[in-house]
Amino acid sequence: MSTLCLLLGDHLSLNMSSLSSINKQTDTVLLCEVKAEATYVKHHKAKIAFLFSAMRHFAISLQDNGYKVEYVHYNDENNQGSLFAQVQYMVKQLGIEKVVLAKPGEYRLFQDVETWTAKLNIPVVVRDDNRFMASEQDFTDWAEGKKQYRMEFFYREVRRRFNILMDDKQPVGGKWNFDADNREKLPKNLSPPEPTTFPPDAMTKDVIALVKEEFGDHFGDINDFHYAVTREQALEVLKVFIADRLPKFGTYQDAMVQDQAWMYHSHVSFYINAGMLHPEEAILAAQEAYYSGHAPINSVEGFIRQILGWREYMRGFYWYFMPGLKTDNYLQAVNALPEFYWDGKTDMNCLSQCVKQTKEHAYAHHIQRLMVLGNFALLAGLDPEQVNEWYLIVYADAYEWVELPNVSGMILYSDGGHLASKPYAASGSYINKMSNYCSHCHYSVKEKTGPQACPFNYLYWGFINKHKDKFEKNPRMAMIYRTMAKMDQTKLGHMLDDADKFIIKLEQNEKV
């Protein structure tokens, strides 16, 4: 029986479950650059270039390892335009009797794949996606019967199971979580090392030319493309992070600095989410750095929590709550996404910085995504569908399984609290505490009302007041509502008025 193994653009690993039983003499591996997947949202140019180049390089690795590979380039004559049409074409061309693939990471594509057996009239076998350490069933078993689904407790369970940073049954260092040690502002005299970059080779240059020609109207810059596109390069990114940035990563992981995009972060999410690195090898490398005395516990635990905690949790959460998670809108947010999310043209320096860096690099670190771009979207009541689409478009590590629960659950509280115990809402004082953005801003973070006041300040209290009925009984927000009740009511009224006026300016597409 001849089998066609379909590898998706983020399944770039020789250890994929879909490859596990492939007969190298009789079976065929298919990779294809199809229009439907590149354009169902208008992905960042650098994201498309990264994935197409990584796919082309991976096809060579497959051939070097003895696999028969059919690779369909974007402009090939036999490119059928969609995954199903391409599979259908190859089944007929090659006389295929079975199709196998690992489970797609997006619900929409998985729903489509489930119809393929009937359409093709041959077996289509969908295997578990083994780019994760915990299975979907692991999350389901953990979540069943719970009223709250907090990442911290899922994280502890998988830490125990995989014996990561454990001292017998207790966490190394005496605590599960060292997040309280990881909130320092970057000192002025400290400069993070430059990120690991790679000049584009001939294959990548061809892809960049293709992207400029075919996707010129997509968001983002591509002239400074420098990402890893092979497993060997991805391993080098991980190696240099462990050596150069991990020791200070924890302390400054939440810090933001004017014109500094990369900081002490690892930048390996691109490669883990595309299958080029396995999460366990990143986790074990960090753990070894702790045991060897190279990096402190707060940095190592913080990095491991992002992967073994958040990444594994988000994937399980996504599949557990889909498809409802896609349409949840608990706060009934309906405002349109402002134009400055695309062009960065706003007098709010923090937002301008984060958008411009996103446009340049298809990257921003987690606090920029959560507490600047996301915080504004929450406070301004932006439509979850539009916000989710933006995040999916602009980041090279974004796939719906990780983007949607982060945005709808963590950023926008659209799911009504399944993921977060309270909204991640903050005034300008948080941004000022964690960055130097405010010292370069048109607005004053110290002002609460008036034309020079930081919009985050009055939008914060506008949000708190608007959703009082939903949050005043939340134990984690009780102090906020007590503070609001004690405020000078005239001053509060001015802030609420300023918030309303600001939203109107957004609606009228005025510069803010």
Same domain, yes or no: 380 and 443: yes
For residues 39 and 25, the answer to whether their CB atoms sit within 8 Å is no
| Cα angle value 203/204/206 (rounded, 5°) | 65
Supply the CATH number for residue 30's domain.
Answer: 3.40.50.620
pTM, to two decimals = 0.96
Rounded distance between C-alpha atoms, residue 30 and residue 327, angstroms:
33
Same domain, yes or no: 281 and 161: yes
Supply the CATH number for residue 363's domain.
Answer: 1.10.579.10
Confirm whether 116 is domain-assigned: yes
Q: How many CA atoms lie within 13 A of 340 on its CB side?
A: 21
Confirm whether 218 is domain-assigned: no
Same domain, yes or no: 350 and 461: yes
Residues in the chain predicted with pLDDT less than 50, given as ranges, are none
Give the tens place of pLDDT for each residue, 143-188. 999 988 999 999 999 999 999 999 998 999 999 999 988 889 999 9
User: In the 8-state DSSP scheme, what is residue 228?
Assistant: -
Supply the CATH number for residue 157's domain.
Answer: 1.25.40.80
In the block, which residue shows the tokens 């921003």?
A: 364
Q: Which residue intervals of 292-339 are DSSP H helices?
A: 297-304, 312-321, 324-327
Confirm whether 376 is domain-assigned: yes
**Among 321, 349, 373, which residue terminates a domain?**
321
For residues 32 and 83, the answer to whether their CB atoms sit within 8 Å is yes
The confidence score (pLDDT) of residue 311 equals 97
Same domain, yes or no: 355 and 257: no
Same domain, yes or no: 270 and 160: yes
The confidence score (pLDDT) of residue 95 equals 95
For residues 53 and 403, the answer to whether their CB atoms sit within 8 Å is no
- State the Cα torsion 187-308-475-453 to the nearest 10°: 40
**Among 251, 286, 321, which residue terminates a domain?**
321
The long-range contacts involving 156-160, CB below 8 angstroms and separated by at least 24 positions, are: 158/133, 158/134, 158/308, 158/309, 158/312, 159/308
The confidence score (pLDDT) of residue 1 equals 76
For residues 30 and 72, the answer to whether their CB atoms sit within 8 Å is yes
Query: By residue range, what is the domain housing residue 312?
Result: 136-197+230-321
Question: How many helical (H) and strand (E) elements, i.e. helices and strands, does the chain have?
Answer: 26, 7
Kindly give the pairing relationship between strand 3-6 and strand 69-72: unpaired
Same domain, yes or no: 117 and 92: yes
Same domain, yes or no: 28 and 73: yes
Rounded distance between C-alpha atoms, residue 50 and residue 172, angstroms:
37
- The structural domain count of the chain equals 3
Same domain, yes or no: 155 and 276: yes
Helix (H, G, I), strand (E, B) or coil at 53: helix
The confidence score (pLDDT) of residue 147 equals 86
Same domain, yes or no: 391 and 440: yes
Residue of 12, 130, 269, 280 lying closest to 138 (CA atoms) = 130
The confidence score (pLDDT) of residue 181 equals 87
The confidence score (pLDDT) of residue 511 equals 92
